[in-house]
Amino acid sequence: MAYDKFNILKSSAVPLPIENVDTDQIIPARFLKATERVGFGDNLFRDWRYNSDDTPKKDFVLNNDTFSGKILVGGKNFGSGSSREHAAWAIYDYGFRCVVSSFFADIFRNNCLNIGVLPVQVSPVFLEQIFAAIDADPNSNFTVDLPHQKISIDASGAAEHFEINPYKKENMTNGFDDIDYLLNIKEDIRTFSKNTPL
């Protein structure tokens, strides 16, 4: 599925300084019953965001108007657990385009890259600086520069380089997905399949 191209993103950020945020929290299993990719943003962090009677939990960050923006900043080991791509969909659908953490779970990272959410892994020290900047001013802006693989805190000018596979970077900046690539080499795949041992 095509997604918006990612180039330079300038935005305020939403802080979620919790470690090991797993995909069951990002989107609980009971909201995985759709047969189409619509409406997942409403259930992003459902059980942290709403009480069991569906009233919003006041102290959860997504219910706090002070914080907004297209960047979600999470604690270490973000996205562990289930392979559900729905977690990445929910994040995208809610309006985030970038997730920042000091460590990501593998499948979650892949899923994000496949649907146009940029996972930016920073050092633990820089992550603390980002949280501190939001703490000092919830409206503080951050710049995520994909071409230069750099994330910066606008107020202080502090910046850090981040890694991304060059192939994935190209895809993200162009809004391409992997399926297009694979469909183009179908003949090679056919030839290869004739010689597989199983």
Partner 1 sequence: MKKTLFDKVWDKHIVQQIDQGPDVLFIDRHMVHEVTSPVAFLGLKNRDIKVMYPERTFATADHNTPTINQHLPVADPLSAKQLDALEKNAKEHGISYWGLGHEKNGIVHVVGPEYGITLPGATIVCGDSHTSTHGAFGAIAFGIGTSEVEMVLSTQCILQPKPKKMRITINGNLQFGVTPKDVALFIISQLTTSGATGHFVEYAGDVFKNMSMEGRMTVCNLSIEMGARGGMIAPDEKTFHYIKGREFTPEGADWDKAMGYWQELFTDEGASFDKEFIFDGAAIEPMITFGTNPGMGIGISKDIPTADDIEGGAATYQKALDYMGFNEGESMIGKSIDFVFVGSCTNGRIEDFRAFAEMVKGRKKADNVTAWLVPGSHKVEKAIKEEGLLEILQASGFELREPGCSACLAMNDDKVPIGKYAVSTSNRNFEGRQGPGSRTLLASPIMAAAAAVTGKVTDPRTLMNS
Q: Does 53 bind partner 1 (CB under 8 A)?
A: no
Q: Does 110 bind partner 1 (CB under 8 A)?
A: yes
Closest C-alpha among 78, 81, 82, 91 to residue 127:
78
Structure-token pair, residue 107: 């499948």
Structure-token pair, residue 35: 């047969």
Rounded CA gap, 161 and 22, in Å?
26
* CB 116, CB 4: distance < 8 Å: yes
Select the residue interacting with partner 1 from 71, 115, 134, 146 (CB under 8 A).
115
Select the residue interacting with partner 1 from 5, 7, 34, 136 (CB under 8 A).
34
Handedness of CA 86, 111, 174, 189 (dihedral sign): negative
Strand partners, 154: none
Segment interacting with partner 1, rule: CB under 8 A, options 6-14, 56-64, 143-151, 184-192: 184-192
Nearest distance from C-beta of residue 10 to partner 1, angstroms: 27
Segment interacting with partner 1, rule: CB under 8 A, options 15-23, 62-70, 92-100, 156-164: 15-23
Select the residue interacting with partner 1 from 4, 39, 42, 83 (CB under 8 A).
83
Select the residue interacting with partner 1 from 4, 19, 42, 137 (CB under 8 A).
19
Nearest distance from C-beta of residue 138 to partner 1, angstroms: 20
- Mark out the alpha helices in the chain (DSSP H runs): 23-26, 46-49, 86-94, 106-115, 124-136, 166-174, 178-184, 186-193
Question: What is the footprint of partner 1 within residues 59-78 (CB under 8 A)?
Answer: 75-77
Name the pairing type of β-strands 150-153 and 142-145.
antiparallel
Tell me which residues touch partner 1 (CB under 8 A): 1, 17-20, 22, 24-25, 28-30, 32-37, 47, 52, 75-77, 80-86, 88, 103-107, 110-111, 114-115, 165-168, 177-179, 181-183, 185-186, 188-189, 192-193, 196-198
